[in-house]
Amino acid sequence: MKRQGPCECQDQDRNGFENLFMPLHEKRDLQSTGLRSGNIWIFLLGFAFLGASLFLAGCQRQKGGLTVAGSTSVEPFAEVLAEDYMEHHGKEKIFIQGGGSSAGIQAVRTGAAHVGMSSRLLTPQEQDLLAFPIAYDAIAVIVHPANPLRNLTLDQIRKIFSGQVRRWEEVGGKNAAITLVSREEGSGTREAFQHLLMGKSEISLRALVQDSNGAIRQVVSDDPNSIGYISLGLVNEKVKAVGIEGVEATIENIRLKTYKVVRPFLFVFKSEPQDTAKRFLDFVLSETGQKLLVQEGLVSVLPPSPPKHGGKPKGNV
């Protein structure tokens, strides 16, 4: 049998590039040394090794902690809650992961996570799981702060996002083309936007697609001609939320139910929560927990505090 030493393969005769690929004659050599002489066990051993390593990797789950996974819209709020919770419950650990509403719900079902975060209602197929609303979030339609537009009608929003209206002057804005910014298919925010605002109209395929609230905010804050939608809690001074049908997107209007583009944030469990999961949920639904969420721009699930004399414009929960 002809041996192919390592030095012989590197014959730099004309073209150094050939070394990147295994020359044909060497391939033949490999076949004859290995498989022909019946060394299937080597092959099997390789597979067994691979299988074992995959198995071990799969087994590594975080122990001694509560895993909360799901919607990237809920994630930042859950992190705030978890941080506060862990401060007061020294030993317990809570791990917050993103991944998306559907992935979070799936993770709860398979047991990969103890708590799922969802920014949409459960679908009929998911009704076997337990869901607790932890807060309400509004979706704000945002534009660049320099955009003079203050208000859009529902019809205008539909026409803009479905691509029928392509220029700002058609809705009373400046003379420029509209840059649409949307979320990707499957996102809870997109689903809620579609469901709450678009109705049967489709979001235009011409829309730019970004894969997080933050990325949309970034694009909209950079581009004076753009329009997008994000969680009201994440609106900051770099973008401007426009009113819808004359109603401004404020916490007050959400509570008065005049601003209607609102969706629930859910915690999803496989079965009745226990131990850490139960304590965490109780904390989230307590006044302290809800207060944290309100500070972050969400709307509490608790009924507004009883005596409401119109004294303070923004009463705490």
Partner 1 sequence: MSKEKFLEKGFLLIALSSISILALIAFFIFVEGVPLIWKVGVRTFLLGERWFPSQGSFGIFPMIMGSFLVTIGALIVGVPLGVGCAIFLCELTPRPLAAAVRPMIQLLAAIPSVIFGFWGLMVLVPMIRTYLGGPGLSVLAGSLVLGIMILPTIISISEDSLRALPRTFKEGALSLGATHWQTIWRILLPAARSGIVASVILGMGRAIGETMAMIMILGNAVQMPHSLLDSTRTLTTNIGIEMGYATGDHRQALFATGVILFFIIMALNSLALIFSRKGRG
Q: How many CB atoms lie within 10 A of CB 2?
A: 8
- Which amino acid would we find at residue 216? I
Q: How many CB atoms lie within 10 A of CB 149?
A: 17
The minimum distance between CB 45 and partner 1, in angstroms, equals 7
The minimum distance between CB 164 and partner 1, in angstroms, equals 16
For every residue of 76-115, DSSP letters joined together read HHHHHHHHHHHHHSTT--EEEEEE-HHHHHHHHHHTS-SE
Q: Are 9 and 18 in contact (CB under 8 A)?
A: no
Would you tell me which residues interact with partner 1 (CB under 8 A)?
Answer: 12-18, 20-21, 30, 33-34, 39, 42-43, 45-47, 49-50, 72, 98-103, 106, 177, 179, 184-188, 191, 202, 205-211, 219, 222-223, 225-226
266 has which bridge partners?
118, 133
The minimum distance between CB 107 and partner 1, in angstroms, equals 11
The minimum distance between CB 193 and partner 1, in angstroms, equals 12
Element (DSSP H or E) covering residue 281: helix 275-285
To 5 degrees, how large is the angle CA 115–CA 119–CA 124? 85
Q: Which is nearer to partner 1, 220 or 292 (CB)?
A: 220
Q: Which is nearer to partner 1, 238 or 278 (CB)?
A: 238
**What span, in angstroms and rounded, lies between the C-alpha atoms of 293 and 290?**
5
Q: Which is nearer to partner 1, 109 or 279 (CB)?
A: 109
Q: Which is nearer to partner 1, 156 or 212 (CB)?
A: 212
The minimum distance between CB 210 and partner 1, in angstroms, equals 7
Q: Which is nearer to partner 1, 224 or 315 (CB)?
A: 224
Q: Which is nearer to partner 1, 63 or 200 (CB)?
A: 200
The minimum distance between CB 307 and partner 1, in angstroms, equals 43
Q: Are 130 and 102 in contact (CB under 8 A)?
A: no
Q: Are 207 and 183 in contact (CB under 8 A)?
A: no
